Structure 1
Amino acid sequence: MANCRPTYTVCATVVTGLEPGALEECREMFGPNTRGKKARGKIFFELDSLENVQQLSRLCSVDKYSVVVADLKQLLMDVSSKDVVLEMFESLPRKLIWTSALDAWEAYYGKTWTSSKTHNYSLPNNNGEQLVPDDLHTHTLSEIQAVAVPSIPHFKQAEVKKLSDLCASVLEHDRTTSEDDRTTFRVTCTRSGTNHCVSSMDVAKHFGSGIVVMFGWKVKLVDPDIEVLVSIVDNDCVISVALTQDSRHIRNITHFGPTTLRSTIAYGLVRLAKPEPGEVVIDPMCGGGSISIEAAIGWPLCCHLAGDMHELATPRTLANVEDVNKQRATECGSPSISVGVIQWDVTQLPLKAHSIDVVITDLPFGKKVGKKVDNWKLYPNALLELGRICRPSTGRAVLLTHDTKAMTQALKANFHLWRKKWISWVNVGGLKTAVYELVRTKAIE
């Protein structure tokens, strides 16, 4: 029978509402046949090699990613006995197959995890099968011998002695292993759903206790080597090993404003616009420049412009672009990005008519900056000006806003310039926010 290649199931957290684009990016990077599925705020996909695992950091839609150890269904999270559930989680690590997830962790970080309690010691029985004493590392030598010797009555005395010596060497290795050599870890548990009889902290504590028994790892809550994730949704549970320590949503941004857009959301908006090589892409209300920077990195063959009316926005965007280029200069083969930055008023842009192909911007919500009442005047005037500069028929816009009432009124006022193609919903800072995909009509005026 042919050997089956190992697969590595990746769980990636993404912005709720942008899951389809994230899964599409995975298939573009790892091949169109990449198997995957979407969940709320997450995508799951399979990789067939450790080389692909090492390329995960290139994904731009993903906040965090981990390698799945087990996807368990219908756990008894709602039973009346709390002790039964906690005992289940404490014994669970010994029942799981960790090989693929730990191999992926080693490949991603380029280092090897160590343990004082992981050995491949076994002894053949009379049938030629391998015998491994149960819970070899959780008992004293006398306890192991008491269990092992009666259970193998057909062993020769020399074989029994060999097993006893083997147990003694394992326990001695455990006692002499330096604390500094042990892999450190922590367990992070998240739960959603109702009728859970245990808390997230209880689950993390007992599951972590089981890991200590199995691997001999050392608990470290701050900056551990390995973070084990336990995600519980109703009665289902996904256990995984984290590959990212920090969320990647703040990449490429070093100078923040009051409404700086997450980089992963910015990238998702650009993907929706689908810029083509040679097209002119602008963000007329750029803030800190998140959208233009992600667009310039991912679509370098387009021309990128960014601007804002606020006097601090354009210097902030320039500073972020410069810092990105400094970082890329230290990376082999990473060319610098080019973004034109101008201070302007979105209702009076210094651009020729019909000169822009794509508009992507984060409209003011009227919460942290400005007031919602101001949007009733700003939105219609902005759409009118954007309709002037966009190319008829082929021009398009992707606009993010929480103020859907003002946007609806603005679209009615500019129905001759813009046709609504699609509305999707994303989570921005806990707010249900709309993404409008608009297409420029054929109207010249």
Structure 2
Amino acid sequence: MSSQEDESAGGGSEPAEPSSSPSTEIGTTSGDIITVTIGATVPTGFEHTAAEEIKEKIGVDARISKDRGRVFFPITTDKLFQVHLLRSVDNLFVVVEEYHHYQFKESKEETLMELQQLASTLPWTNALEVWKQNGTLKKKKGHRRGGNTAKSKPNCEGVGGSMASTEQQELPQENSAPEGWAGDTQAMETSTQDSDETGHGSKLIKFRVTCNRAGDKHSFSSNEAARDFGGAVQEFFQWKADMTKFDIEVLLNIHNEEVVIGIALTEESLHRRNISHFGPTTLRSTLCYGMLRLCKPQASDIILDPMCGTGAIPLEGAIEFNHSFYVAGDNNDMAVNRTVNNICHIQKRRADKGSMSGLPIDTVQWDLCSLPIRTSSVDIIITDMPFGKRMGSRKKNWDLYPSCLREMARVCRPGSGKAVLLTQDKKCFSKAISRMGGLWRKQHTVWVNVGGLHAGVYLLKRTGAVFGQTPEDVYESRGAVHMQGEEKDDKELS
């Protein structure tokens, strides 16, 4: 294996030179203000949105990783609480060390031996101090069943709070806890009271290592890397390995030649913040936030979600962009009930905290293709359209998409109105939008990963054409008459 200078390993047993970072340069004692690098996982495709929010709210520049769905930014510990207020990030971790060009050994045995040796040479001090300070920011909670494996780079976007398969268009990726270690591989919150204590009365730290690996040129698996690196961490710190009731989760993220070691700061993904009643296709709140920022809501805007599902999009908007008014609707009564329950849950939570509980949102059950809304009265339409997999069908989408795009054009303000639409049925959507040239103009597309599916978030601009005076309307009316004629003929034949 050829050697490279600076950030790569040579032919010996020394690992690659780490990238310089504040965590390796600044010493600390408990209570000191230090600067560290924070890593954040975000919905794939919305990395730039996350970087914009970080710059806007924290005032620092974020670096977007080569590995999709991850950003890094510096922060001082006196501002640590601010990172938990970000709306675009799923999970947070403090970086122990980064290697941009780690030169892995040819054989699996040599590579795993090097990972074992690496554990005792890392600058753990600042990261552990940040983990300790982060613990004081969080409300103490008891054990919770279930868990979240996406504390580091998730290999997919969650739908309905669950994890799906690896991204189809991405590099092969694995996510695993140490092989052969007892316990469930799902991460779980733990209360500090349940941790073991030593004979001297000091708290015995429980930990686990989670490895996320992407790339097809590694001689080892995620299980093997997590097992051997975790064993070395245990030996170095004399911590106790515990797969379910751990205090610290050490992250070993490997993407081709990029290696990042970190310590998780979130016990549960931040994307679950708004939803208490999940449906079959509930969107991540972080993805909803990215979609909302894409359309730049303004004060007094009327924002419509005609296929609201569990209300994830309007709820996120009503909380974060609360100077606009949101109308959420669906044709499914169960979906409308879930939305109402989620709104009530947020209102109760806000009331319990002593803040204003009201939300600028209303909920209606309706027919998507015949909305009870005045023509040209809506500023923004933002919705998750049926993919034809968990909801609806691909066949039905060929009729549904043109009909709903036309009805959306009717209620949207000509010239200034916008639509942000999410769908994985790209072929059907492209065909439908091509028939809407007089009503909609496609301005931008963000490619995202939703539950392991490659989907698009489409930003559309409403043209200045008056609804009812475009070729699309004439085409539709003729098509409708033709369809009615066919149905009549079918009835006569039956």
Give your verdict on TM over 0.5.
yes
Hey, what's the Cα distance between the residues in 1 that align with 2:280 and 2:50?
26
Structure 1 residue 19 and structure 2 residue 47: aligned? yes
In 2, are the aligned partners of 1:78 and 1:195 still within 8 Å (CA)? Answer: no
Deviates more, 1:44-53 or 1:387-396: 44-53
Higher deviation after alignment, 347-356 or 44-53:
44-53
Alignment check: 8 A CA contact 1:9 1:44 kept = no
Report Cα offsets for 1:63-96 as digits up to 9, x if no partner. Answer: 111011011143343412x332222111212211
The residue identity in structure 2 corresponding to 1:391 is R
Question: C-alpha separation between the residues in 1 aligned to 2:200 and 2:116?
Answer: 24
SS at match of 2:57: helix
Q: What does 1:76-225 align with in structure 2 at a 5 Å threshold?
A: 76-80=103-107, 82-110=108-136, 176-178=199-201, 181-225=203-247
Tell me the secondary structure at the aligned position of residue 89 of structure 1.
Answer: helix
Of residues 438, 445, 448, the one that matches 1:426 is 448
Q: Let me know the Cα RMSD of the aligned residues.
A: 2.1
Which amino acid in structure 2 is aligned with residue 364 of structure 1?
P
**In 1, Cα distance between the equivalents of 2:105 and 2:115?**
14
Equivalent of 2:248, from 203, 214, 226? 226
CA distance in 1, matches of 2:264, 2:280: 30
Counterpart position of 1:138: none
Which structure carries more helix by proportion? 1
TM (normalized to structure 2)? Answer: 0.73
Once structures 1 and 2 are overlaid, which stretch shifts more, 50-59 or 360-369? 50-59
Distance 1:257 1:71, change over 3 A: same
| Residue 358 of structure 1, CA deviation | 0.4
1:338 aligns with 360
Pick the structure with greater CA Rg: 1
Question: Which runs of structure 2 are paired with 1:256-271 in the superposition (5 Å)?
Answer: 256-271=278-293
3-state SS of 1:58 partner: coil
Alpha-carbon separation, structure 2, partners of 1:334 and 1:14: 29
**Which residue identity does 1:233 align to in structure 2?**
H
Is 1:69 aligned with 2:96?
yes
In 2: Cα distance, 1:294 partner to 1:262 partner: 10
Kindly provide the amino acid, as one letter, of the partner of residue 184 in structure 1: K
| Uncovered stretches (5+) of structure 1, i.e. residues with no partner | 113-173
Structure-2 separation of matches of 1:282 and 1:89: 52
Return the alpha-carbon distance in structure 1 between the equivalents of residues 430 and 198 of structure 2: 70
Which deviates more from structure 2 when the two are superposed, residues 41-50 or residues 429-438?
Answer: 41-50
Code of the aligned partner of 1:61: S
Return 209-218 or 370-379, whichever deviates more: 209-218
Tell me how far 1:46 sits from its aligned partner: 2.5
**2: CA distance, partners of 1:237 / 1:289:** 38
2:109 counterpart of 1:55: no
Which AA in structure 2 matches 1:66?
A: F
Aligned to 1:438, the other structure's residue is in SS state: strand
Mapped to 1, the partners of 2:76 and 2:128 lie a distance apart of 13
Work out whether residues 65 and 244 of structure 1, in 8 Å CA contact, stay in contact via their aligned partners in 2: yes
2:335 & 2:132 partners in 1: Cα distance? 42
- Match for 1:230: what amino acid? L
Q: Counterpart of 2:37? A: 9
Choose the corresponding residue for 2:56, options 28, 35, 52. Answer: 28
Instruction: Quote the offset at 1:332 in angstroms.
Output: 4.6
**1:280 match:** 302
Give TM-score scaled by structure 1 length: 0.81
* Aligned: 1:307 with 2:329: yes
The structural deviation recorded for 1:413 is 2.1
Percent sequence identity over aligned pairs:
40
- Distance of 2:198 and 2:427 partners within structure 1: 68
Counterpart of 1:39 in structure 2 is: 66
Distance in 2 of aligned mates of 1:35 and 1:412: 37
Say which SS state the counterpart of residue 353 (structure 1) adopts.
Answer: coil
* Structure 1 residue matching 2:120: 3-state secondary structure: helix
